[in-house]
Amino acid sequence: PVLIAAAVIGGYLLGSIPFGVLVMRAAGAGDPRAIGSGNIGATNVLRSGKRGLAVLTLLGDGGKGALAVLVAWLATRHAVPHTQAVLTALAGGAAFLGHLFPVWLGFKGGKGVATFFGTLLAAAWPVGLAAGASWILVAAVFRISSLAALTSALLAILFALLFGRPMPIAELALFMAVLIYIRHIPNIRRLIKNEEPRIGGARKAED
């Protein structure tokens, strides 16, 4: 019970650090919630025109998910493998929830895509790598961040079933994917209307 609480609370607190808001503020570049989609993630930070800050946001938001998983994995190394696996997945899931519902921002957080990748990479790197590759592929072809996120979130479940380690990776991927879809409802509406902005492009789709 103590370990469960530590994994959940520790993961949540780590995940609730809003790197997009922090790096933009630190750079005196304003607040991501005031521009573009209003989201606190790297995609929206990029809309400020500051590519370096977007990269930092991606690394911070991804890194905190990975860190939560790695710390939980190391802290439970003396536990039986099943317990270690469950606690590690719990910490990763909690970090993801922390990003979506950070106490510091009145529980109004991000969409979880970077944290999703960081968590998966640390929990089962082949799954994270394959999901990341699918994001890059879709983003390269369509230049729409949300479409890439929605595709890779779905595929991650499949990749987890195919080559997730003997730990609840598929459950973790499914949990995060469902929340990613719920968080992207406004994006899905814009995608259907062909109004979702392209990465680095004009606000509206041209074709």
The binder of ligand G3P chosen from 39, 76, 119, 152 (CB under 6 A): 39
Q: Name residues contacting ligand G3P, limited to 185-204 (CB under 6 A).
A: 187
Site membership for ligand G3P, residue 134 (CB under 6 A): no
The binder of ligand G3P chosen from 10, 15, 20, 41 (CB under 6 A): 41
Q: What is the largest CA-CA distance in the chain?
A: 57
Whether 85 and 70 have beta carbons less than 8 Å apart is answered as no
Choose the binding region for ligand G3P from 35-43, 48-56, 96-104, 127-135 (rule: CB under 6 A).
35-43
Whether 142 and 136 have beta carbons less than 8 Å apart is answered as no
For every residue of 63-108, DSSP letters joined together read HHHHHHHHHHHHHTTTS-HHHHHHHHHHHHHHHHHHHHS-GGGTT-
- Lookup: tokens for 9: 């609370």
Q: Name residues contacting ligand G3P, limited to 86-115 (CB under 6 A).
A: 111, 113
Choose the binding region for ligand G3P from 32-40, 68-76, 157-165, 169-177 (rule: CB under 6 A).
32-40
Site membership for ligand G3P, residue 57 (CB under 6 A): no
The binder of ligand G3P chosen from 76, 84, 146, 152 (CB under 6 A): 146
How many Å apart are CA 55 and CA 169, to the nearest integer?
26
Say which amino acid occupies 137: L
Q: In residues, how long is the chain? A: 207
Site membership for ligand G3P, residue 152 (CB under 6 A): no
Query: Which residues contribute to the site for ligand G3P (CB under 6 A)?
Result: 36-37, 39, 41, 43-44, 111, 113, 145-146, 149, 187
